[in-house]
């Protein structure tokens, strides 16, 4: 807690302030994530197919002299049959179950769609401090310009940390801890003014009165401290800061950074009491003519298990990129320790001179982004997304909000500021990347089970509805009544409710899972047409071999349609052979129960309700045999299809 009095000049209020701008941005519609865009494209695909099918079927049936009402009902029933109407429920159930499992792992899901995005994430952008490191910053040394420990540099730094009133940060906390152990006294020091820290200047200056005069003490990033200095304390004397002296200081800074230290600079400027130009209030315009006093060397060790965590992320097909405000040298040292590509580093200074087109190309091969301000982080995220990457961003400060909103999935931690947690899709109860491995697995499991439903319904329904549409043009009766089409659709969807519990192939876990509308379309056409050919073969067998009347035809076709739609679930649910992939027990139970209920239903004397009639033994087993042959053919084509797809 801090208390005191102050005089302020209010230049802006409410939405016109910096905080107001950030808060106002949160009210804007968030850019569509990759998941939302792909779902929309899939919806457009189904809409086009359904619209064309309904119009064609309606026109054909009117042309063959069926009544308008009968034709319309049949066309609408086909449209309902081809649509994956359980998709919203399947997605909601799988996402809810995933969110519950992730909460057990220490991840709170605020937006359910984020689970799908997490499974598709192939780039994770994270800050260095606290994410890749222990976030236990210690002050190792306070040294002068020659690298020797110096009490005066320590004292200045601690005074700066003691009297600054900005938001708490771990660097000042480390200095205050040293204050207690070094038994430093501040009783005779009075604070006069403060020039707050900002992300442009990257320094904070305190004005104090120690009884002899006014002293400005500035602490911050080395380059920004050096640029306000004209003198340097060599430890023996104060001399002009020449280009040779600057180069000497830069070598020191670079050397410590390469050893993994986070290095700050300390400088001061003194005014005597009788000095005429000694102000009583200070602004950033007074930050000039300082004397460079020395360096502060902080350490923040990498987390013990971070290398294993990153290795697991890479095995899951997700790469990590470091976006940090820290200097390039300490960031390069950490990246080298973690086994990341550190040869090419993009700094904020370089990025500010780049056009978006150049950055679009540069982010492809760059892993480490150092000395970044908040707006530059947002530009990096946007450039990565333009490269068709699904991007996650882990942030915990106000300055991270813009980048978090730009990312496909935004992550924060429980200790973050409220506005960062409000902008996050997921909140990690601990600042630990290892919990994301489980989250990615949950996301991919959710996506995989959702895709099983889509591929099953799109291919089987497309094939069945297309064959019925074709048959309706040549048969003297409808292949299925509208109520039978809807009933078939209802029964075939029952086992798919259990798809949310299904297991997934290990191979599916090894790469990001993304929606691919072109793949879905090709899958639907290939397997749908194969299904259509078998349907037409079934029609021919029913008509020309068994000479079935309309009631027997509809009953036999209904049985084949249901058996194939349920059986194809087990073919499509895995890239392996149908017997190698292990389905969940609930999927098996619901499938067996639905098939059993359907067979019983056919033989119940309720023709007036269902329109079905009992089938003779030979006809019944012929329909079952056709269904088994269909599943065997589909299994054969599945292997060839994925073999061609994988190249």
User: SS3 for 234-252, per residue?
Assistant: CCCCEEECCHHHHHHHHHH
Q: Which two tokens stand for residue 522?
A: 């090709």
Provide DSSP, 49-99. Answer: HHHHHHHHHHHHHHHTT--HHHHHHHHHHHHHHHS-TTHHHHHHHHHHHHH
Nearest alpha-carbon partner for 602 in 556, 535, 565: 556
Q: Which two tokens stand for residue 471?
A: 């048959």
CA atoms of 559 and 562, how far apart (whole Å): 5
Sign of the dihedral through C-alpha 470, 473, 474, 478: positive
List all residues 6 or more positions away from 335 whose beta carbon is below 8 Å from its beta carbon.
322, 341, 342, 367, 368
Mean pLDDT of 467-486: 81
What are phi and psi for residue 388, nearest 5 degrees?
A: 60, 35
Sign of the dihedral through C-alpha 230, 234, 239, 244: negative
Helix, strand, coil percent content, the chain, rounded in steps of 5: 55, 15, 30
Torsion of CA 43, 48, 51, 57, to 10 degrees: -120
Residues 295 and 153 sit within 8 Å (Cβ to Cβ): yes
Q: Which of 122, 127, 268, 326 is catalytic?
A: 127
CA atoms of 97 and 136, how far apart (whole Å): 35
Mean pLDDT of 546-557: 91
Give the pLDDT confidence of 133-182 residue by residue, as tens digits.
877 888 999 999 999 999 889 999 999 998 988 777 888 888 888 776 66
Tell me the CATH architecture of domain 94-106+441-645.
Up-down Bundle (1.20)
Q: Which residues pair with 323 in a beta bridge?
A: 369
Least confident of 8-22, 167-181, 325-339, 600-614: 8-22
Name the superfamily (CATH) of residues 118-134+303-429.
HAD superfamily/HAD-like (3.40.50.1000)
pLDDT at 4: 47
CA atoms of 413 and 399, how far apart (whole Å): 14
Look at residue 603 and tell me whether its pLDDT is greater than 50.
Answer: yes
Look at residue 633 and tell me whether its pLDDT is greater than 70.
Answer: yes
pLDDT at 1: 33
Mean pLDDT of 33-39: 69
Place of tokens 């771990």: 170
Mean pLDDT of 175-204: 81
Residues 287 and 195 sit within 8 Å (Cβ to Cβ): yes
Mean pLDDT of 544-548: 91
Nearest alpha-carbon partner for 403 in 469, 321, 329: 321
* Other beta carbons within 10 Å of 38: 18
In the chain, where the domains are located: 94-106+441-645, 118-134+303-429, 137-299
Predicted confidence band at 6 (pLDDT cuts at 50, 70, 90)? low
What are phi and psi for residue 645, nearest 5 degrees?
A: -65, -40
Average pLDDT, the chain: 84
CATH class, domain 137-299, is: alpha beta
CA atoms of 625 and 613, how far apart (whole Å): 20
Percent of the chain with pLDDT over 70: 94
Residues 279 and 286 sit within 8 Å (Cβ to Cβ): yes
Predicted confidence band at 2 (pLDDT cuts at 50, 70, 90)? very low
Q: Which two tokens stand for residue 628?
A: 């088994």
Q: Does residue 274 or residue 640 have the better pLDDT?
A: 640
Give the pLDDT confidence of 422-462 residue by residue, as tens digits.
888 888 887 777 778 878 888 888 888 888 888 888 788 77
List all residues 6 or more positions away from 318 whose beta carbon is below 8 Å from its beta carbon.
121, 122, 123, 124, 440, 512
> Is 127 known to be catalytic?
yes
CA atoms of 174 and 178, how far apart (whole Å): 6
CA atoms of 412 and 426, how far apart (whole Å): 6
Q: Which two tokens stand for residue 226?
A: 């050096």
CA separation, residue 631 to residues 35, 491, 502, 581 (Å): 32, 19, 20, 15
Residues 496 and 90 sit within 8 Å (Cβ to Cβ): yes
Least confident of 104-113, 586-595, 625-634: 104-113
pLDDT at 3: 42
Instruction: Measure CA 70 to chain center.
Output: 48
Give the burial class of 307: count Cβ atoms within 10 A of its Cβ; 0-12 exposed, 13-18 middle, 19 or more buried: middle
Predicted confidence band at 485 (pLDDT cuts at 50, 70, 90)? confident
């Amino acid at each position: 807690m801090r208390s005191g009095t102050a005089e302020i000049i209010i230049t802006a209020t409410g939405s016109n302030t910096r905080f107001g701008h950030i808060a106002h941005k949160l009210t804007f519609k968030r850019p569509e994530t990759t998941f939302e865009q792909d779902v929309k494209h899939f919806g457009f695909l189904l809409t086009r197919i359904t619209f064309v099918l309904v119009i064609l079927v309606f026109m054909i049936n009117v042309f063959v002299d069926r009544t308008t009402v009968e034709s319309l009902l049949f066309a609408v029933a086909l449209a309902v049959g081809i649509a994956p109407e359980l998709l919203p429920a399947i997605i909601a159930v799988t996402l809810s179950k995933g969110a519950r499992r992730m909460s057990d792992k220490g991840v709170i899901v605020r937006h359910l769609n984020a689970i799908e995005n997490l499974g598709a994430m192939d780039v994770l952008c994270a800050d260095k401090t606290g994410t890749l490191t222990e976030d236990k910053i210690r002050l190792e040394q306070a040294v002068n310009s020659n690298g020797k420990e110096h009490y005066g540099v320590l004292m200045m730094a601690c005074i700066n940390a003691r009297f600054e009133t900005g938001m708490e940060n771990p660097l000042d906390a480390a200095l205050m801890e040293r204050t207690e152990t070094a038994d430093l006294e501040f009783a005779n020091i009075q604070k006069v003014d403060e020039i707050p820290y900002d992300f442009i200047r990257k320094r904070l200056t305190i004005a104090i009165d120690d009884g002899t005069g006014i002293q400005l003490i500035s602490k911050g990033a080395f380059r920004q401290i050096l640029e306000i200095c004209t003198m340097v304390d060599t430890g023996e004397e104060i001399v002009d800061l020449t280009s040779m002296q600057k180069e000497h200081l830069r070598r020191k800074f670079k050397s410590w950074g390469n050893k993994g230290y986070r290095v700050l600079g300390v400088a001061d400027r003194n005014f005597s009491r009788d000095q005429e130009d000694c102000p009583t209030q200070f602004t950033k315009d007074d930050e000039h003519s300082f004397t460079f006093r020395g360096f502060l060397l902080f350490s923040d060790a990498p987390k013990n298990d971070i290398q294993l965590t990153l290795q697991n992320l890479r095995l899951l097909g997700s790469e990590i990129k470091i976006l940090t405000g820290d200097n390039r040298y300490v960031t390069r040292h950490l990246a080298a320790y973690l086994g990341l590509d550190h040869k090419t580093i993009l700094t904020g200074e370089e990025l500010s001179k780049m056009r978006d087109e150049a950055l679009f190309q540069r982010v492809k091969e760059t892993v480490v982004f150092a000395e970044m301000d908040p707006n530059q982080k947002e530009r990096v995220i946007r450039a990565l997304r333009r490269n068709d990457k699904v991007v996650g961003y882990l942030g915990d400060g106000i300055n991270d909000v813009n980048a978090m909103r730009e990312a496909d999935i935004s992550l924060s931690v429980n200790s973050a500021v409220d506005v960062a947690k409000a902008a996050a899709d997921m909140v990690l109860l601990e600042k630990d990347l290892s919990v994301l491995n489980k989250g990615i697995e949950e996301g991919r499991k959710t996506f995989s089970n959702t895709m099983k439903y889509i591929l099953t319904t799109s291919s089987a329904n497309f094939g069945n509805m297309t064959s019925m549409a074709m048959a309706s043009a040549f048969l003297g009766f409808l292949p299925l009544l509208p109520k039978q089409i809807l009933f078939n659709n209802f029964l075939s969807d029952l086992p798919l409710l259990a798809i949310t519990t299904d297991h997934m192939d290990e191979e599916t876990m090894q790469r990001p899972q993304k929606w691919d509308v072109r793949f879905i379309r090709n899958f639907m056409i290939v397997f749908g047409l194969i299904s259509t050919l078998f349907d037409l073969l079934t029609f021919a067998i029913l008509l020309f071999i068994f000479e079935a009347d309309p009631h027997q035809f509809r009953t036999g076709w209904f049985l084949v349609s249901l058996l194939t739609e349920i059986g194809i679930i087990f073919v499509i649910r895995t890239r392996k052979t149908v017997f190698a992939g292990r389905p969940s027990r609930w999927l098996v139970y619901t499938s067996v129960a639905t098939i059993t209920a359907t067979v019983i239903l056919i033989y119940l004397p309720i023709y007036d309700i269902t329109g079905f009639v009992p089938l003779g033994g030979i006809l019944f087993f012929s329909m079952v045999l056709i269904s088994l042959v269909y599943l065997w053919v589909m299994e054969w084509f599945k292997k060839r299809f994925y073999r061609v797809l994988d190249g």
